[in-house]
C-alpha cells in the first residue's frame, strides 16, 4: 500500500457517503439491480464444439457467485447471444450489448477473427472486455483482458522440451491465417534460438480437408518433431489421415486436445505421441480440478469434455469479481484500473491465475499433455506460474501507456 | 565404371518410380475426392437441375449414420450401407414433402435446400451434440521407398471408378435409367408414352441422395464427423459437376481428372494455397473455353446427339 | 411531371399511383424521423439492415430482371470494402479524401465487373455456368485474402491483416469549417436511407424504361431478343456492371458501419445470403427485394437473439414455408393476393356482377 492510499480512501469514502446521502432511495434501487454480464459465444456453427463448454463454465461461475451473495451485494446476470460462429453476428451483438443492454462487462469470442471484429467496437465504447481463449498473442489493448494462454507460455515451454527429447529437426504445418502464421513464426524463432533447423513449413487454407500431399511432403523431409497448428473441423481430418498413412512422427501443438478434445473424438491411435501445452485439460488431477469437474458435471451432465477454454471462462468471471471488489464499484473505468493494478488473482481449476498489469494477460500453470497410443493422457511435466512476459519486454506497458494494437514478433511496437 | 552405373541406375530408377507413384497416388486421391463429391450432385443437380445446396448435409447424414452404426457393432461395409440407405430415405421423404413442388421453378430450390441445410446442420448439433467419436481407417498402410501410404485411400479411386461404371450402366443400359433420362429430358412426352414420371423423379432424386450418403459413408473413416462437415464437400461438388457439363455420365470422370491433375500439380509445386486457388481458376478457364462443360464439348465434337 | 420521372411506375414494377407512393413516402418519413424516437442502438441496427439492400437490389436487377444468376456478388462487395479500407487508411480523413476513397471503391468493382462480364457474356458463358464462375471468383478472393496476415501484405500504411480482417478505417468525413461532419450513428443512417431511396427510385425508372423492357425480353428469350436486333451481350454486360457496383456500394457501407471488413464476407455462406433474400422476397420485383432483405436480416437477428440454439432451425423453417406457399416470393405473392382480393371485392360490390360464393 503506498502513502497516498489512505487519503484516496478517505476521499472516496467521503464522496461515497455524500453520493449515498443524496441518492439514498435510488441507490437502494440500484443495489437490488443485478450486474449485467454480456456474453458473446458461438453456440452453433463451426466453433460450437469447443465453445459450448465455455458457455456452461460462465454459467457455473455466475451461479456459484450468486449463491454466495453476488458481488458487492449485487447479483450477476448473464445476457448471452448466440454468435453462430459468424463475425458479422459478433459485431451486431457487441453493439447490442453495449448500446441497448448497457452491459457492465463483455466476455467472449473464440476465434481471433471474431475477437478482432469486435475489438474496434469495444475500443470505441471503452467497453471492458475479456477474451478467454488461447490465441496467437500480442493484443496490447487498454480495454481488453485476456485469460487464455499465449505463445510465450505454450511454445517457449513445449518446443525446447520436444527438441531435447526427440531431436532438432522441426516441420510445421499451420492453418493459413493469422493464428497459424503468427504461431508458426514463434515456433520458427524458438527453433532457431535452440540451435535447431526447420526442415519444412507449410500453410494450409482453412477449407482444406484432404492431406495426402502434405503427408508426402512431411515424409520426404523426415523431421524429428512435427508441429501441427491446425484449426477447425476440416483440418482436424489430418490426424486420421496421417495415422492411416502411418506417418508416425511425434507431434506438438498449442491448439489440439485442450480445445476440441481430439483425443476423445478420434479413434486411437490417430493422435499417438501428440504433445500439447495447455493451461487446463479435464485430465488434470488435483483437488481444485477434481472439485471443479464434480461441480461442472453435476450442473451440466451433458457436457462432453471440460476443456481449457472452459477453465479460462470460469477464471475470467472470478477475475472480474476480484476487480470489481477491489474497485468497490462496477464503473468500467474503475474496474479496468483495478484489474490492471496488479495483484488480481483467482485460484481456478488449473491453479493460481494472475493478471499482468503491463499486458493485461494472465499467468498460468502450463501442463504438458502427452497423448498415448490408446489416447489416454499423461502429464510428463508441469511448468508453474509462467508469465505472459513477451508484450512487456517488447514495449507494451498498459499501466503507463494506453494502446489498442496487436503486435507480432515481426510487427513490434514503435519505440 | 560400369559397376557404379549399374549400381546407380536402379536406385535412381527406383527413386523415380517411387516419386512417380507418390504423385500418381496424390492425383488419384484428389480424383476420387472430386468424383465422390460430385456423384450424388451429378444426378440431383446435373441431371434434374435442382440446385441442391443441402448436398453437403446428405453427405453428413451418410457419414453420421455410418459412424453410429459401426460403433453400434455393425461391420464397416454394412454400416456404410446403412449410411447410404439412410441418406436415400431422407432424400425420398424430402422429395415427397418439398422438392417435388419445385420442379417447375428450379431457382427456388436454392432457397428450399439452403433452408434444409440450415435445419440439418443445426438439428444434428442439437440432437447428436457438437461431435461424435470417429472411426479408424481400415486396412492399415503400405510402404514404398521413403513414403508410406494408406491402403484404404489407395482403394478409393478404384471404388470411384467402379461407381462411375455402375452408374453409366444404370442410366444407359437399364429400363429405369432410360425412363429416368427420358422423363428428365421431356416429362410430357415420357408421360404420354406411359412412364410414371412422378415416381421416376422421386426415384432419381432418392438415388442422388443415396449416392451423396455413400460419399459420406466412404469418407466417414477418414475425417471427423461434425454437423458442419458438409461444407468441406460442397464447393468441390458443384465445381466438378458444373465443369462436367449437362451429360454428367460422360463428363464427370474427365472433369474430375482435369481438376485433380491441375490441383495436385500446383499443390505439389507451390503449396496448398496455390492448389486451392488453382482449382478455382481452372474452373473459370474451363468454363470459358468450353461453355457447355466437358461433356458438351465431347458431344459437339462427335457431331451432337 | 417530366417524362423520365413518369417511368417510376410501369409494367416491370409492382405498385403504382398516388396511394402506393403515399404509403412509401410515409414509411420513408417515419424512418427519417426515427432517430428522435428510438435509442442509438436501434438506429445503428437499422442502418445495418439497410446496408445490405443495395447488393440485393443489384442482384434482383441481374437475376430477376435479366435472368442471370450470379452467385458471387460478394466478390464486388469485398473488393469495394477492402478498397475503401486501403485508400482511406492511406489518405486519412482530411478534406474530401474519404469521399474519394468511396468513389474509387465503386469504380474498382465496376472495372472488375466489366472484365468478368466481358469474359463471360462475350465468351458464351451462360446459365448456371455464370453462377459457378462468379462463385469461383469470390472464393478465390476469400482464400487469397485469408492468408494475408503477415506484415508483408501491406499497401502503403494499410495492413490487409488476413482472415482476422482489416479494421480502423476512418468514417466518411465532410469538411465543414471548424467541425467537420462525421458520418457515424444517426448521420450515417440518414446517408444510407437517402441512398436507398435514390437507388430504389433510380432502379424503378431504369427497369420501366426501354432498357428494362429489353432486359425482360432477354430474360424471357435471349434468342428472340437477339433476332429482334438487340445486342444481348451488351445489355447483359451493362446490367451486370450496375448490379456489381451496387454490391460494391453495400460493401463500402458495411465497411463504414463496422469500420471492419473480413475475407469471410466473400465466403460461400455470405455469397448465398443475397440470393436467399432476393428469391424469398420475389426476385422479379425490386420493391419486394427491398422489403424482403430488411425483413430477413432483421428476422435472422431476432431469432439469434431470442431463439438461442434453435435460431437457425426456425430460420430454415420460415424459408421453407415461404418457398412452398409463396411461389413467386413472399412479397410478390402477398401483393398479388391483396390486389386480386381488392378487384374481387370491387367486382362483388358492383351491382351487375354475380357475387361469388366465397368472399
One domain, residues A128 and A182: no
Task: Report the Cα B6 to chain-centroid distance in Å.
Answer: 46
**Over A180-209, what HEC string results?**
HHHHHHHHHHHHHHCCCEEEEEEEECCCCC
* Domain assignment present for A413: no
A120 contact residues in C (CB cutoff 8 A)? 167-168, 258-260
Distance from CA of A176 to the nearest CA of C (A): 5
The minimal CB distance from A265 to the residues B134, B141, B227 is found for B134
* Domain assignment present for A117: yes
pLDDT of residue B3: 43
In A204-281, which ranges are continuous DSSP H helix?
A: 212-221, 232-244, 262-265
Query: How many other CB atoms are there within 10 angstroms of residue C181's CB atom?
Result: 13
Between the alpha carbon of residue A398 and those of residues A143, A337, A345, A411, C151, the distances in Å are 10, 10, 18, 18, 23
Pairing mode, strands A76-82 and A35-41: parallel
* Domain assignment present for A300: yes
Q: Are A187 and A161 a contacting pair, CB within 8 Å? A: no
A117 contact residues in C (CB cutoff 8 A)? 165, 167, 258, 260, 262
Nearby residues of A11 by Cβ (< 8 Å), 6 or more positions away: none
Cα dihedral C303, C304, C309, C313 sign = positive
One digit per residue, the tens of pLDDT, for chain C of length 359 reads 677 777 888 888 888 888 889 999 999 999 999 998 888 889 999 999 999 999 999 999 999 999 999 999 999 999 999 999 999 999 988 888 999 999 999 999 999 999 999 999 998 888 788 988 999 999 999 999 988 988 888 888 888 988 989 988 998 988 887 888 888 889 999 999 999 999 999 999 999 999 999 999 999 998 899 889 899 999 999 999 999 999 999 999 999 998 899 999 998 888 989 998 998 888 889 999 999 999 999 988 888 888 767 888 888 888 888 888 888 888 888 888 888 887 777 776 655 544 444 43
Interface of B with A in 178-207 (CB under 8 A): none
Q: Are B216 and B120 a contacting pair, CB within 8 Å? A: no
The C-alpha atoms of residue A312 and residue A55 are separated, in whole angstroms, by: 11
C312 contact residues in A (CB cutoff 8 A)? 44, 84
Cβ burial C126-142 (10 Å sphere, 16+ → b, else e): eebbbbbbbbbbbbbbb
DSSP-derived 3-state class of residue C152:
coil
One domain, residues A145 and A173: no
DSSP-derived 3-state class of residue C269:
helix
pLDDT of residue C282: 85
Residues A248-265: tens digit of each pLDDT: 899 999 988 989 888 988
B277 contact residues in C (CB cutoff 8 A)? 140, 143-144
Chain-chain contact of C167 with A95 (C-beta, under 8 angstroms): no
pLDDT above 90 covers a percentage of chain A that reads 68
The minimal CB distance from B112 to the residues C126, C137, C320 is found for C320
Global model pTM greater than 0.90: no
Closest C-alpha among C23, C64, C50 to residue C328: C64
- Mutation target to probe the A interface, by most A beta carbons within 10 A, among C40, C77, C260 is C260
Average pLDDT, chain A: 88
The minimal CB distance from C146 to the residues A86, A100, A205 is found for A205
Q: Are B103 and C271 a contacting pair, CB within 8 Å? A: no
- Mutation target to probe the B interface, by most B beta carbons within 10 A, among C271, C279, C283 is C279
pLDDT level of residue B4 (50, 70, 90 thresholds)? very low
The C-alpha atoms of residue A242 and residue A256 are separated, in whole angstroms, by: 15
> Per-residue pLDDT averaged across A156-171, rounded?
94
CATH number reported for the structural domain that contains residue A229 in this entry: 3.40.50.2300
> Per-residue pLDDT averaged across A119-133, rounded?
93
The C-alpha atoms of residue A185 and residue A137 are separated, in whole angstroms, by: 12
Residue B105 pLDDT > 60: yes
Closest C-alpha among C164, C26, C135 to residue C74: C135
Residue A1 pLDDT > 60: no
Q: What is the DSSP string of C271-286?
A: HHHHHHHHHHH-TT-H
One domain, residues A130 and A170: no
Chain-chain contact of B283 with C132 (C-beta, under 8 angstroms): yes
The C-alpha atoms of residue A279 and residue A148 are separated, in whole angstroms, by: 8
The C-alpha atoms of residue A35 and residue A39 are separated, in whole angstroms, by: 13
Q: Are C350 and C342 a contacting pair, CB within 8 Å? A: no
Place of cell 468441390: B236
Taking CA–CA distances from B115, the nearest residue in chain C reads C316
Interface of A with B in 22-51 (CB under 8 A): 44-46, 48-49
- Mutation target to probe the A interface, by most A beta carbons within 10 A, among C141, C258, C300, C301 is C258
Closest C-alpha among B217, B23, C47 to residue A92: C47
Residue A183 pLDDT > 60: yes
In chain C, which ranges are continuous DSSP H helix?
A: 3-6, 17-37, 40-51, 53-59, 74-91, 97-121, 128-146, 186-208, 210-220, 222-227, 232-258, 268-281, 286-306, 311-325, 330-349
Q: Does A214 touch chain B (CB under 8 A)?
A: yes
One domain, residues A180 and A120: no
Q: Which three cell numbers stand for residue C259?
A: 469500420
The C-alpha atoms of residue B291 and residue B286 are separated, in whole angstroms, by: 8
Residues B164-180: tens digit of each pLDDT: 999 889 888 888 888 88
List the subunits that have 3+ CB pairs under 8 angstroms with C: A, B
* Domain housing A307: 24-149+284-364+387-406
* Domain assignment present for A381: no
Q: What is the DSSP string of A108-158?
A: E-SSHHHHHHHHHHHHHHT--EEE-S--S--EEETTEEE-S--HHHHHHHH
pLDDT level of residue B182 (50, 70, 90 thresholds)? confident
Phi-psi region of B158 (alpha: psi -120 to 50; beta: other; left: phi over 0): alpha
Taking CA–CA distances from B289, the nearest residue in chain C reads C123
**Environment class of B159 (CB within 10 Å of its CB; exposed 0-12, middle 13-18, buried 19+):** middle
* ipTM for the whole complex: 0.85
Interface of B with A in 211-250 (CB under 8 A): 221-224, 226-229, 231-232, 235
pLDDT level of residue A141 (50, 70, 90 thresholds)? very high
Task: Please tell me the total count of domains within chain A.
Answer: 2
- Mutation target to probe the A interface, by most A beta carbons within 10 A, among B224, B232, B233, B234 is B224
Q: What is the DSSP string of C154-187?
A: EETTEE--GGG-EE-PPPPEE--TTS-EE--THH
> Per-residue pLDDT averaged across B212-235, rounded?
88
The minimal CB distance from C316 to the residues B116, B243, B276 is found for B116
In A300-345, which ranges are continuous DSSP H helix?
A: 308-327, 332-339
The minimal CB distance from B130 to the residues A49, A205, A241 is found for A49
Q: Which three cell numbers stand for residue B255?
A: 472433369
Taking CA–CA distances from A124, the nearest residue in chain C reads C168
pLDDT level of residue B305 (50, 70, 90 thresholds)? very low
Q: Which helix (H) or strand (E) holds A161?
A: helix A151-166
Taking CA–CA distances from A302, the nearest residue in chain B reads B129
**Which DSSP letter does residue B135 get?**
-
> Per-residue pLDDT averaged across A6-14, rounded?
47
One domain, residues A237 and A300: no
pLDDT of residue B186: 81
Between the alpha carbon of residue B171 and those of residues A37, A125, B168, B193, the distances in Å are 61, 63, 5, 18
In A5-145, which ranges are continuous DSSP H helix?
A: 5-22, 24-32, 48-67, 87-95, 112-125
Distance from CA of B146 to the nearest CA of C (A): 31
Backbone angles phi, psi at A396, to 5 degrees: -95, 115
* Domain assignment present for A276: no
pLDDT above 70 covers a percentage of chain A that reads 92
pLDDT level of residue A28 (50, 70, 90 thresholds)? very low
Chain-chain contact of A100 with C41 (C-beta, under 8 angstroms): yes
One domain, residues A33 and A71: yes
B281 contact residues in C (CB cutoff 8 A)? 136, 140
One domain, residues A138 and A228: no
Cis peptide bond upstream of A269, omega within 30: yes
pLDDT level of residue A288 (50, 70, 90 thresholds)? very high
Q: Are A122 and A144 a contacting pair, CB within 8 Å? A: yes
Amino acid at each position: 500500500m503506498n502513502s497516498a492510499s489512505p487519503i484516496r480512501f478517505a476521499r472516496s469514502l467521503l464522496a461515497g457517503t455524500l453520493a449515498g446521502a443524496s441518492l439514498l432511495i435510488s441507490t437502494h434501487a440500484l443495489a437490488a439491480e443485478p450486474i449485467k454480464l454480456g456474453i458473446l459465444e458461438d453456440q452453433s456453427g463451426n466453433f460450437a464444439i469447443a465453445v459450448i463448454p465455455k458457455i456452461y463454465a460462465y454459467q457455473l461461475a455466475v451461479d456459484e457467485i450468486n449463491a454466495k451473495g453476488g458481488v458487492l451485494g449485487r447479483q450477476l446476470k448473464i445476457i448471452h447471444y448466440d454468435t453462430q460462429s459468424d463475425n458479422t453476428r459478433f459485431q451486431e451483438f457487441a453493439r447490442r450489448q453495449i448500446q441497448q443492454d448497457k452491459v457492465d462487462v463483455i466476455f467472449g469470442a473464440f476465434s481471433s477473427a471474431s475477437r478482432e471484429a469486435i475489438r474496434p467496437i469495444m475500443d470505441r465504447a471503452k467497453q471492458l472486455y475479456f477474451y478467454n481463449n488461447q490465441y496467437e498473442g500480442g493484443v496490447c489493448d487498454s480495454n481488453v483482458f485476456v485469460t487464455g494462454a499465449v505463445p510465450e507460455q505454450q511454445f517457449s515451454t513445449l518446443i525446447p522440451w520436444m527438441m531435447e527429447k526427440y531431436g532438432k529437426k522441426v516441420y510445421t504445418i499451420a492453418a493459413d491465417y493469422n493464428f497459424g502464421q503468427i504461431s508458426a513464426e514463434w515456433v520458427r524463432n524458438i527453433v532457431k534460438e535452440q540451435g535447431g533447423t526447420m526442415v519444412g513449413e507449410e500453410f494450409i487454407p482453412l477449407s482444406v480437408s484432404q492431406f495426402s500431399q502434405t503427408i508426402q511432403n512431411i515424409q520426404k523431409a523426415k523431421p524429428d518433431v512435427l508441429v501441427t497448428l491446425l484449426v477447425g473441423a476440416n483440418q482436424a481430418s489430418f490426424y486420421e489421415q496421417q495415422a492411416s498413412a502411418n506417418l508416425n512422427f511425434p507431434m506438438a501443438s498449442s491448439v489440439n486436445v485442450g480445445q476440441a478434445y481430439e483425443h476423445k473424438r478420434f479413434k486411437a491411435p490417430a493422435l499417438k505421441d501428440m504433445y500439447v501445452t495447455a493451461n487446463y485439460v479435464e485430465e488434470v488431477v488435483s483437488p481444485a480440478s477434481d472439485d471443479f469437474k464434480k461441480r461442472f458435471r453435476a450442473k451440466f451432465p451433458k457436457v462432453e469434455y471440460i476443456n481449457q477454454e472452459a477453465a479460462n471462462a470460469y477464471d475470467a468471471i472470478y477475475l472480474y469479481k476480484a476487480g470489481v471488489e477491489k474497485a468497490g464499484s462496477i464503473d468500467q473505468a474503475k474496474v479496468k484500473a483495478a484489474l490492471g493494478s496488479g495483484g488480481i488473482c483467482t485460484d481456478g481449476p488449473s491453479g493460481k491465475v494472475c493478471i499482468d498489469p503491463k499486458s493485461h494477460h494472465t499467468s498460468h500453470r502450463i501442463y504438458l499433455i502427452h497423448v498415448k497410443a490408446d489416447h489416454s493422457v499423461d502429464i510428463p511435466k508441469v511448468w508453474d506460474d509462467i508469465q505472459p512476459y513477451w508484450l512487456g519486454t517488447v514495449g507494451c506497458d498498459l499501466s503507463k501507456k494506453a494502446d489498442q494494437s496487436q503486435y507480432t514478433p515481426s510487427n513490434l511496437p514503435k519505440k | 565404371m560400369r559397376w557404379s552405373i549399374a549400381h546407380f541406375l536402379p536406385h535412381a530408377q527406383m527413386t523415380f518410380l517411387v516419386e512417380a507413384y507418390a504423385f500418381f497416388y496424390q492425383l488419384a486421391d484428389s480424383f476420387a475426392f472430386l468424383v465422390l463429391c460430385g456423384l450424388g450432385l451429378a444426378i440431383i443437380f446435373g441431371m434434374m437441375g435442382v440446385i441442391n445446396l443441402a448436398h453437403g448435409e446428405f453427405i453428413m447424414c451418410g457419414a453420421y449414420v455410418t459412424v453410429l452404426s459401426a460403433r453400434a457393432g455393425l461391420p464397416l461395409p454394412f454400416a456404410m450401407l446403412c449410411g447410404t440407405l439412410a441418406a436415400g430415405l431422407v432424400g425420398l421423404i424430402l422429395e415427397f414433402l418439398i422438392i417435388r413442388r419445385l420442379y417447375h421453378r428450379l431457382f427456388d430450390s436454392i432457397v428450399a435446400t439452403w433452408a434444409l441445410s440450415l435445419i440439418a446442420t443445426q438439428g444434428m448439433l442439437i440432437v447428436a451434440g457438437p461431435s461424435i467419436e470417429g472411426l479408424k481407417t481400415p486396412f492399415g498402410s503400405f510402404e514404398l521407398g521413403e513414403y508410406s501410404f494408406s491402403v484404404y485411400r489407395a482403394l478409393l479411386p478404384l471404388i470411384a471408378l467402379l461407381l462411375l461404371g455402375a452408374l453409366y450402366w444404370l442410366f444407359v443400359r437399364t429400363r429405369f435409367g432410360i425412363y429416368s433420362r427420358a422423363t428428365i429430358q421431356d416429362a410430357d412426352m415420357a408421360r404420354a408414352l406411359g412412364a410414371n414420371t412422378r415416381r421416376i423423379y422421386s426415384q432419381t432424386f432418392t438415388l442422388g441422395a443415396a449416392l451423396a450418403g455413400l460419399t459420406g459413408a466412404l469418407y466417414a473413416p477418414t475425417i471427423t464427423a461434425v454437423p458442419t462437415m458438409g461444407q468441406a464437400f460442397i464447393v468441390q461438388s458443384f465445381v466438378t459437376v458444373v465443369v462436367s457439363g449437362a451429360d454428367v455420365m460422360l463428363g464427370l470422370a474427365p472433369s474430375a481428372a482435369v481438376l485433380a491433375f491441375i490441383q495436385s500439380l500446383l499443390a505439389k509445386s507451390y503449396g496448398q494455397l496455390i492448389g486451392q486457388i488453382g482449382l478455382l481458376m481452372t474452373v473459370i478457364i474451363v468454363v470459358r473455353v468450353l461453355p457447355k462443360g466437358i461433356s458438351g464439348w465431347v458431344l459437339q465434337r462427335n457431331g451432337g446427339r | 411531371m417530366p417524362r423520365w420521372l413518369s417511368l417510376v411506375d410501369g409494367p416491370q414494377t409492382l405498385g403504382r399511383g398516388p396511394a402506393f407512393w403515399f404509403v412509401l413516402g410515409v414509411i420513408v418519413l417515419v424512418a427519417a424521423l426515427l432517430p428522435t424516437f428510438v435509442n442509438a442502438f436501434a438506429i445503428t441496427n437499422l442502418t445495418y439492415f439497410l446496408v445490405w439492400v443495395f447488393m440485393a437490389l443489384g442482384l434482383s436487377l441481374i437475376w430477376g430482371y435479366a435472368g442471370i444468376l450470379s452467385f458471387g456478388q460478394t466478390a464486388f462487395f469485398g473488393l469495394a470494402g477492402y478498397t475503401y479500407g486501403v485508400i482511406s487508411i492511406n489518405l486519412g480523413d482530411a478534406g474530401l479524401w474519404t469521399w474519394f476513397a468511396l468513389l474509387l471503391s465503386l469504380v474498382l468493382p465496376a472495372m472488375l465487373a466489366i472484365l468478368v462480364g466481358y469474359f463471360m457474356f462475350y465468351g458464351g458463358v451462360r446459365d448456371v455456368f455464370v453462377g459457378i464462375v462468379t462463385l469461383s471468383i469470390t472464393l478465390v478472393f476469400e482464400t487469397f485474402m485469408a492468408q494475408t496476415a503477415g506484415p508483408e501484405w501491406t499497401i502503403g500504411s494499410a495492413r490487409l491483416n488476413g482472415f482476422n480482417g482489416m479494421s480502423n478505417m476512418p468514417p466518411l468525413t465532410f469538411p465543414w469549417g471548424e467541425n467537420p461532419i462525421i458520418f457515424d450513428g444517426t448521420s450515417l443512417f440518414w446517408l444510407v436511407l437517402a441512398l436507398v431511396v435514390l437507388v430504389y427510385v433510380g432502379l424503378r425508372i431504369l427497369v420501366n424504361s426501354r432498357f428494362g423492357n429489353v432486359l425482360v425480353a432477354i430474360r424471357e428469350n435471349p434468342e428472340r431478343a437477339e433476332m429482334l436486333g438487340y445486342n444481348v451481350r451488351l445489355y447483359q454486360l451493362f446490367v451486370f456492371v450496375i448490379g456489381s457496383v451496387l454490391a460494391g456500394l453495400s460493401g463500402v457501407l458495411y465497411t463504414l458501419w463496422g469500420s471492419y471488413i473480413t475475407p469471410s464476407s466473400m465466403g460461400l455462406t455470405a455469397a448465398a445470403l443475397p440470393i436467399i433474400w432476393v428469391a424469398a422476397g420475389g426476385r422479379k420485383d425490386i420493391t419486394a427485394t427491398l422489403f424482403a432483405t430488411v425483413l430477413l436480416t432483421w428476422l435472422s437477428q431476432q431469432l439469434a437473439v431470442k431463439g438461442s440454439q434453435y435460431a437457425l432451425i426456425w430460420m430454415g423453417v420460415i424459408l421453407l414455408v415461404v418457398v412452398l406457399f409463396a411461389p413467386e416470393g413472399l412479397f410478390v405473392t402477398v401483393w398479388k393476393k391483396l390486389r386480386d382480393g381488392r378487384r374481387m371485392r370491387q367486382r362483388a360490390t358492383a351491382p351487375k356482377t354475380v357475387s361469388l360464393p366465397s368472399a
